[in-house]
Amino acid sequence: MSIKYPATFQFDLGDRVTDRISKVKGIITTRLDCINGCNRYYVQPESEDGKLPDAYVIDEHALDLNAKNVHTPFRSVVKSQGEKATNGPMTSRVARPVVRR
């Protein structure tokens, strides 16, 4: 038997937060709904030198909100001109931001 419930998250994707313990500041890129009932977030620190720093997984209760919707989640689909949405299998490629390492 499995128990299903809707996950309720305190923060949204794209929010800028600070970890109370480690003082890490960054933007939420992923939300995790864990099997033990806790909510965790991937927090990506913002880089000043152009390099992508490591992301951190932080529990919800340890985060403080700095600003809402700093970055809008990218969920659009790139369609060629004249292409009609059919609501069937996706034929267009999904546009994703480029991550350089």
Mean pLDDT by 10 residues, the chain (101 residues): 69 94 93 88 88 90 93 62 61 54 45
Q: For position 15, what pLDDT does the model report?
A: 93
Residue 59's DSSP bridge partners are: 40
d(CA 97, CA 100): 10
d(CA 76, CA 53): 26
Q: For position 66, what pLDDT does the model report?
A: 95
| Residue in 63, 69, 74 with CA at minimum distance from that of residue 32 | 63
Q: For position 64, what pLDDT does the model report?
A: 96
Residues composing the chain: 101
Q: For position 49, what pLDDT does the model report?
A: 83
Q: For position 101, what pLDDT does the model report?
A: 45
Q: Which residues contact 93 (CB under 8 A, 6 or more apart)?
A: 77, 78
* 9-38: pLDDT as tens digits: 999 999 999 999 999 999 999 999 888 888
Q: For position 22, what pLDDT does the model report?
A: 92
